[in-house]
């Protein structure tokens, strides 16, 4: 009797822990699915190649630093028809220099391989995200219009 009671209790505890683990994994999927871009694959991802379907596609790159991840742009899942990459500043010195990135986060919006708009964190101790969702959506619309010509 006592042995079967202990087994049932242990099974309940295990199921609760398993359920909690599954929930945590599901909540972290957007973070886990984030694709990083690097010095060695940047041009391919941004400009594509002759066989890519990248014409007119909006690509956003967030230059990011692990120490400031709390201030990264949080609404990527709300943006439509854009491709989003992160670039870790600590591991990509060529891109950091090429785009003159001094603060994290810095966000660049590209179309057809050309950078159109740059949002950068202001110097200071807080290094807050330089753009909110409405401002980002307006910027994307501007880039779409400008890149048509």
Give the predicted TM-score (pTM) of the model: 0.70
43 Cβ contact partners less than 8 Å away, ≥ 6 residues apart: 113
pLDDT category at 85 given cuts 50, 70, 90 is very high
Q: Answer whether residue 49 shows pLDDT above 60.
A: no
What tokens were used for 146?
């400008």
The CA distance from 35 to 149, in Å, is 30
Q: Answer whether residue 142 shows pLDDT above 70.
A: yes
Q: Output the pLDDT for position 22.
A: 81
The CA distance from 66 to 99, in Å, is 19
Instruction: Quote the percentage of the chain above a pLDDT of 70.
Output: 85
Q: How do residues 7-16 score in pLDDT, each as one tens digit? A: 888 888 998 9
């Amino acid at each position: 009797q006592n042995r079967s009671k202990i087994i049932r209790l242990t099974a309940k505890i295990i199921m609760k822990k398993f359920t909690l683990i599954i929930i945590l994994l599901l909540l972290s999927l957007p973070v886990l699915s984030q694709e990083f871009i690097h010095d060695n694959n940047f041009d391919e991802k941004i400009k594509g190649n002759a066989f890519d379907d990248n014409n007119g596609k909006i690509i956003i790159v967030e230059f990011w630093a692990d120490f400031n991840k709390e201030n990264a742009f949080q609404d990527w899942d709300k943006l439509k028809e854009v491709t989003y990459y992160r670039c870790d500043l600590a591991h990509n010195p060529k891109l950091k220099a090429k785009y003159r990135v001094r603060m994290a986060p810095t966000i660049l919006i590209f179309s057809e391989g050309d950078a159109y708009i740059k949002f950068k964190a202001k110097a200071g101790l807080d290094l807050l995200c330089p753009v909110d969702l409405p401002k980002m959506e307006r910027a994307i619309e501007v880039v779409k219009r400008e890149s048509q010509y």
